[in-house]
Chains A and B, each alone.
Chain A
Amino acid sequence: MSDQGPVWIERVLMDLWRRQRGLLLSLLLWVVLVSAGCGSDSDYFGKVLPPKGQVLRFNNGAEPEYLDPQMMTGQPDGRIAWALFEGLTSYDPKDLTPLPGMAESWEISEDGRVYLFHLRKNARWSNGDPLTAHDFVYSWRRFLNPATAAQYAYLLFGVRHGKAYCTGEWIGRFWATELRRRGSSKPEVIWQPATEASQQSDKGDSRAEITLSPVLDAEEKPTGVLRGDLLLEVPWAKGRLQGSLEIAKTGEATGSVTGKWVLDGGDPVSLEFNVSGVLDRNDREKKVSGTIRAEAGGLQWTARLEARVARAEDVGVSALDDRTLRVELDNPIQYFLSLTAFYPLSPVHPATIEKYGERWATPERMVSNGAFRLVEHSLQNRIVMVRSETYWDGENVKLEKVIAYPVELYTTGCDLYKAGEIDIEPSNYIPLEFIPRIKTKKDYAIHPYLGTYFYRINVNHPVLKDKRVRRALAFSVDREAMVRFLRAGQLPAWYFVPDGIPRYKSPRLLRFDVKEAKRLLAEAGYPGGKGFPKLSILYNTTEQHKQIAVIMQRMWKKNLGIDIGLKNQEWKVYLKSQRSLDYEISRSGWIGDYADPNTFLDMFLTGGGNNNTGWSNRRYDELIAMAARESDPQRRMQIFYEAEEILMDELPIIPLYIYTTFYLKKPYVRGYTSNIQDVHPLKYVWIDHDWRAKE
């Protein structure tokens, strides 16, 4: 084709302009007028015309990976799960305190370890079947079943033998046989259990439990080396014995304990352990038995041990009758009633799953127990749910229909919202650039969120292992300036655990102090940043992480005089680098699973799966373990406070800001309240067609 350059285009355009000027001008004027006429209420972002009837349409952010509550993990999954299913408890939409759900009431034992849930008489499945305690037993066992491979399974690891069952650990049981005084020629028996049976009960003072995990050798065969935690409560001492037990022996095993054992403030104890037989992770029938002998302060205690791989029926959840569920925990869990409201712990309909296996969660097959039931699921298109007629609180559910759209692009979501095609654009699905334009609108809402944005530091790095360097990096960050840039109401993170957790207030040890930061850096051998090696910030490739990294880079350059590089990686590569500590400083974020400091702080236990910093602190580990055993809520929070002080003093991480939830919600949507976990039970939501009258 002949290329005549831009000259002829200009000629054509000028020609058009000369001849059709009137037409073009009137067209332009008309467009402006029409758009001004259609552009609705400027108090709101876009159209504010409610849909006909009680229908809620919202952007769900993405296609859920599953519609099976035990398998679901992400937020898009959760929003659907909470509409379709309900656990023993449910959330109060304002502050998320647990309310009765499938259970109408519950009793908690004095030590906080045993829960009795009383199910509702009118608890029913969407097909009309009564919902019983047995269904919960089935569902929770399914949740922990290794074959299910549920990612959230660890949430039930605190239930007795929950972890052992899920991970194929060996559980053992001791039956104390007798306690003797040693030394005399004829050992004196000073205590003997009345019957063996009584020793199996929970109240027995010689109750002992052992959890052993098989250690595999290079060929991945169990060698019979046992390693595990031993928890003994022996009659001659009130303390507990805890530590790791190792019995090295291959093949037909008899072995003994290595290591020293000290009671809490008591005498050293020596232990002898004999066990025969080798257990196999995949054979849950096989048993091994042996004896254990302990000696302390002239006393000798013997017990018989039987061990096997944990089975479903070992898990501490049982149905006393159709309407009573008994749950036994290893240690008191303060937030357990909040956990039971979390969707992975919702019940599933056993008969449906037995019939269809993994692919039961389709509109034709699914039987659910929540306020809504599934009627349509079209992949990457929409999920349609309607009010369930069998839900126990059905008369208080106002919405007749809920449609969720999996819109991934923030702009498309906002477009749909503005054009009035959806009623809610969920949290954080708004481009930051939009915020200055919509923050004055009445349908824009902001609320603090249970999440922290922070930088991980690789403490194995020769320079970064110096605590003074880490402190210098943390003290030279102007967090106020950072949140001003972010615009969506984020809060500067002067600590790691976000605000809003009941009864907990984080220690505020961080501050913006350039002088101190410079002093620390000089003390570490880099006065004015001289000689400081070029480190880099690792982040996964997105615009926002990049912007933040650039800000950090500038702040550190300006305040400390050091050069920090940027390194971006594709998501999965980034995850891998972070996990293998193949970084210096790495961008991170954490959203709490439940409103308790534990969900933030147990991440940095030595060797924890999400630690990813190489940091390890013995006192910190002890505190977190102590908190897990503590039954007094007030003391427990003090322990967490102390632990967070250590974390914020050592600084293997640099907290930057506390997340907020910011979302768009049409003014006619009622009952959709903000809270720190961004959970919005749809049973309370309704469409107010007379909203204007109440403005």
Chain B
Amino acid sequence: MVRFMIRRLLAAIPVLWIIVTATFFLMRLAPGGPFDKERRVSPEVEANLRTKYCLDCPLWQQYLTYLGPLNLNPGQGGVKAFGGDGSRPWSGILTGDFGPSFKYANRSVGSIIAEGFPVSIHLGGMALLFAIIMGMVPGLVAALRQNTAWDYGSMSAAMLGVSIPNFVLGPLLVLVFSLTLYWLPPARWDGPRYWILPTITLGAIYAAYIARLTRGGMLEVVRQDFVRTARAKGLPESLILWRHTLRGGLLPVISFLGPATARLLTGSIVVEKIFLVPGLGRYFIDGAINRDYTLVLGVVLFYSSMLIMLNLVVDILYGFLDPRVTYD
């Protein structure tokens, strides 16, 4: 088990390296730069800015300085962008420094992630909880009461949930609960009243998926031999459900939850923009649009690490839930 974890973590390193490298160079391939604005910056000032952010150094040098841990040209003003005050011999992501954001220049990428991530965890966690409860319960009910109105009702709701994108659901909820009924505020992130609508908007589609996966997984397991055996042995239905069916039936849900959790926890640009939630999700898109090189790299790296970690967690959970899975 420990060996398995170490192996997986070691395997993650080249993956992350490839992601960083690809992102770094892809970002630079995009036309335009972080300082292009409608009102053109005067060439002199642009030259000053480029020097300040080391954009006038050769690309390989920028790349190596970004990676670290060696600051290739300490003392020069340019390296400021990647190594704190530029005087340190160490710099780059290997020393834990993600550099400053190009757009929000008085903030470091690290501090932007540190400020946005708790909010994303908060919203994502609530949405996850909402999705699990609102997905598993109807899914289980549908599976146990197959082909009844319960089944049809919850599955049609799930169908609706899967097919309504959150940029439609969000405004609809706002229209009904904020602008017509005046029950809940339409946006902002100031307290429990403000949390409800974004949580539902973000969680709904996941709830719908979970409901369908739960039902499907359960129905599949119910027909398996070991369940039939348990029933033949005369075990009570509730025990069969808790000890045998549920463990197998939830496997598809668990494997779905891994990447879903990563996605939920790193935020969603749509929900964040509609409800003015100060989370991380917006930076994936906004960072790219603004050509905020360091910010994009920072959030991509962060998201990939989360994804790798959570996939590992899922694999370990599999070991507990499915006795057929071993790690050797």
Contact = CB atoms under 8 A, between A and B. Distances in A.
Interface of A: 1, 8-9, 11-12, 15, 31, 34-35, 38-39, 46-47, 63, 65-68, 71, 73, 146-151, 153-154, 166-168, 357-362, 378-382, 405-409, 411-412, 415-416, 418-419, 421, 570-573, 575-576, 579, 589, 609-610
B18 interface: no
B32 A572 contact: yes
Interface stretch (B148-156, B297-305, B313-321): B148-156
B276 A405 contact: yes
Contacts, number: 157
Interface stretch (B61-69, B104-112, B125-133): B104-112
B274 A12 contact: no
B43 A609 contact: yes
Contacts of B44: 146, 166-168
B153 A412 contact: no
Interface stretch (B178-186, B201-209, B222-230, B256-264): B178-186
Given A9-B156, A380-B276, A579-B40, 5 more contacts: A407-B276, A412-B274, A416-B276, A419-B185, A576-B36
Contacts of A35: 180-181
Given A38-B181, A405-B276, A408-B273, A12 B153 contact: yes
A678 to B, nearest CB: 16
Interface in B183-230: 185-189, 212, 215-216
Contacts of B291: 572
Interface string B18-34: 00000000000011110
Given A575-B38, A610-B40, A379 B104 contact: yes
Q: Which of under 10, 10 to 19, 20 to 34, or 35 or more describes the interface residues of B?
A: 35 or more
B233 interface: no
Nearest to A408: B273
A572 B36 contact: yes
Contacts of B181: 31, 34-35, 38
For the complex of A and B, 8 pairs with smallest distance between CB atoms: A572-B32, A381-B278, A415-B186, A167-B44, A149-B48, A380-B278, A35-B180, A38-B182
Contacts of B272: 380
Contact of B186 (A71, A153, A361, A419): A419
Given A65-B104, A147-B77, A419 B178 contact: yes
Interface in B222-249: none
24 contacts: A8-B152, A9-B152, A11-B152, A31-B181, A34-B181, A65-B103, A68-B106, A73-B39, A147-B48, A148-B48, A149-B48, A151-B41, A151-B45, A357-B85, A358-B105, A378-B115, A379-B115, A409-B274, A412-B276, A421-B186, A570-B289, A572-B289, A573-B31, A610-B40
A415 B273 CA distance: 13
Nearest to B112: A379
A38 B183 CA distance: 10
Given A378-B115, A379-B107, A573-B32, A421 B187 contact: yes
Contacts of B48: 146-149, 166
A8 B187 CA distance: 37
B42 interface: yes
A357 B291 CA distance: 25
Contacts of A47: 182
A666 to B, nearest CB: 16
Contacts of A8: 152, 156
B155 to A, nearest CB: 7
A151 B52 CA distance: 13
